[in-house]
Amino acid sequence: MAKRVLIVEYQTEIAALLEAALRRWGYETVFVKDGFDAIKAFTLYHPDVVLLEILLPSLRGFEVCQRLKLLPMGKDTPIILLNTISQSRKTPEQIREKCGADGYLEAPMTIQRMIGVIQDTHGASVQGLPITRRAMRWDLSETSFARIMNACALFSATASVRFEDGDAQKTVYFRGGRPCAATSNAPEDQPREVMRRAGLLTPEAERWFEAQGSKLVPVQAIVAAGHLDPGRVELLRKQAIREIIHSLTAWEKGFFFFANDDPEGEHLAATITDSPVSLLREGIVRTFSPERLRKALGKESKILVPARHPLYAFNDLSLTREEIATLDLCDGTNTVGEVIARSPLPEKATMQLLVGMIQLRMLKATVQKKPARRISEYLEELQGEEAHRIAAIRRELTEEFRRLENADLFERLHLPKDADREAIKEAYRRHSETFHPSRFAEPRFDEVREIIDGIAALALEAYQTLIDDEKRAHYLQTLTEAGMMESAAIPVAAVQGGGRPEGRMPLPRPPLEIADTAANREDRVSWEMTEVEDAFLSDGGEAADESRNAEPKGEPPTDREIASAPPSEVPYEPPLDDLDFGFFDPEPPREEADLSDFPEELLPPPEAMSSGMKLFLLVTTAALLLAAIGVASYFIFVS
């Protein structure tokens, strides 16, 4: 019997891709878009595995996971969290531990890896079953071709996606997440029209096509008739593929589905290697009217800022000097209207550029000003002194990691054994300002990424142990027993911040010299960072920007305080302003599974609900009780 997977995903294109991929591997699927519906569907359909998106518009995925785990079946049902928007600085183990999930996957990922995690968590593999029914059809008006292309890139998918609008059918083939081929039955995509647009249709060829009637004429027949040079066949086929993809960027209605009959398009005669970036941008230039561009941009009062986790490389853009100057205006300080007004490009060209960047998830819009790094800084090539400077930073990172590995917890932060709480906090703050992973997010540091993450983990371990009185006392006792210090008797006043010990070791100055750009100022660590990073995700997405940029205030919360906080207080909720723009789904979630027969008594117990739900149930119960008392009093009075 096939295993059943409950997909909880508000992005239509992601849900469609997951549904098709799981069916190919022999799984049954149930799909809902909302966290509350997920709880109902879980009880009705008894899934074997749950794939749960964390960035749901209403009840967030972390709370859904906690509630499901409180249900009788939830304890034994694997729940795998999906993060398809952002990247977390927490490890998967830390995220799973926080909310009781059994697995965690974040963008970018592959279908094969997702299937492997499902099989590992469920404890059994599933053999692919014959596909006996057509794939589920999805409404194209709920998404767009750009989002579907982004979904394939996100999962490095090899798949064929079929689009239908009336009698028109177009299929795009993806390999490794990139569009490589396309076919179409639309008249405008047939060889005759492609030749006409390419200037290859001679009067003789036109008369020959007229003689063929309305039937579709293959390219080989055109070559055999002498109306097409054999050397131009490959170029013509590739141009036809590009034009089919360009035309799909304009589709706003119809249906689409992931076809499993020929996902790799092995029968295709030609393929292209164009980047998704160039295909989408050219499609927007060819097909979007000024009115469509304005509709896609939305409110001109929105602030444009580069996405913190772009889906594609900036180097794939092939930008002109004017386009770079325009994108540099999108630094978190200018509105859409201001960028259009100040751009050196014509108004329509500016809107085409901005819409393309937003649909490619390389720009986003927000309602608050967020000074950010300019895109031109991402495009700088490492040359001369810059290359030597980056190499020196890499070497220093390696040396710091080795030092931390061989040091005790006090030495990691350059602290004496009798350091007080303020000294510990100051030491960790200064260490984080220098070595926090957010300062080394550029691709140039990819080869030392594990070292950067290791430095942050070792420093955080030292801070969390030394700032906690019980953990620190135990660690000091361990050092004493190991003969690494004479006595563990540290004055209580010193531990609790009752005064600065004399002769304290001076804190080192930050050793790395990194340019003081707007991006580095934005990513510089404050004590609010501790609150965010000790939550379910550490700075995992755009939603955490406001918390990260807050001014330092008060002491950082302890692990014990955060662990005791209710789920609703975890500072990780996608802002509603982001849900109606860019790559977020602006439509309210809609049910896909039939939940009409769901028994309300099977809802999670009140202790699993938010404070708002508890208040609602309390008021409802009180009202019913008063009504019952009133009815009883009436009958007693009458009798």
pLDDT over 70, % of the chain: 70
Structure-model confidence comparison of residues 347 and 556, the more confident one: 347
Superfamily for the 4-122 domain: Response regulator (3.40.50.2300)
Q: Where are the domains of the chain?
A: 4-122, 144-277, 288-367, 403-554, 609-639
Structure-model confidence comparison of residues 111 and 534, the more confident one: 111
Residue with the two structure tokens 């819409």: 355
Q: What residue type is assigned to position 353 of the chain? A: L
Rounded mean pLDDT, 601-625: 61
Q: At 291, phi and psi to the nearest 5?
A: -65, -40
pLDDT value at residue 302: 92
Lowest-pLDDT range of 99-103, 157-161, 472-476, 537-541 = 537-541
User: Tens of pLDDT along 551-579?
Assistant: 434 444 444 443 444 433 333 333 333 33
Bridge partners, 7 (sequence order): 31, 51
Tell me: pLDDT of 24 over 60.
yes
501-531: string of b/e by CB count within 10 Å (b at 16+)? Answer: beeeeeeeeeeeeeeeebbeebbbbbbbbbb
pLDDT value at residue 510: 36
pLDDT value at residue 613: 59
Structure-model confidence comparison of residues 230 and 15, the more confident one: 15
pLDDT value at residue 264: 59
User: Tens of pLDDT along 498-546?
Assistant: 333 333 333 333 334 444 333 333 333 322 223 333 333 443 344 334 3
pLDDT confidence tier of residue 89, bands split at 50, 70 and 90? low
Nearest to 425 by CA among 476, 497, 512, 521: 497
User: Tens of pLDDT along 31-68?
Assistant: 999 999 999 999 999 999 999 998 888 788 889 999 99
Tell me: pLDDT of 447 over 50.
yes
pLDDT confidence tier of residue 230, bands split at 50, 70 and 90? confident
The answer to whether 272 touches 156, Cβ cutoff 8 Å, is: no
pLDDT over 90, % of the chain: 32
Structure-model confidence comparison of residues 392 and 364, the more confident one: 364
SS3 content of the chain, % helix, strand, coil (to 5): 50, 10, 40
- What does the block give as tokens for 92? 């998967």
pLDDT confidence tier of residue 589, bands split at 50, 70 and 90? very low
The answer to whether 309 touches 107, Cβ cutoff 8 Å, is: yes
pLDDT value at residue 151: 94
User: Tens of pLDDT along 314-336?
Assistant: 767 778 889 999 999 999 899 99
Lowest-pLDDT range of 103-112, 172-181, 238-247, 253-262 = 253-262
pLDDT confidence tier of residue 216, bands split at 50, 70 and 90? confident
pLDDT value at residue 603: 42
Rounded mean pLDDT, 241-251: 95
Structure-model confidence comparison of residues 233 and 610, the more confident one: 233
User: Tens of pLDDT along 113-160?
Assistant: 899 888 888 765 555 444 444 567 899 999 999 999 999 999 989 999
- What does the block give as tokens for 334? 């200018």
Structure-model confidence comparison of residues 442 and 513, the more confident one: 442
Which pTM does this prediction carry? 0.61
The answer to whether 471 touches 410, Cβ cutoff 8 Å, is: no
pLDDT value at residue 2: 79
Beta carbons within 10 angstroms of residue 489's beta carbon: 8
pLDDT confidence tier of residue 354, bands split at 50, 70 and 90? very high
Mean of all residue pLDDT scores within the chain: 76
The answer to whether 160 touches 265, Cβ cutoff 8 Å, is: yes
Residues in Cβ contact with 17 at an 8 Å cutoff, skipping those fewer than 6 apart: 151, 152, 155, 157, 159, 258
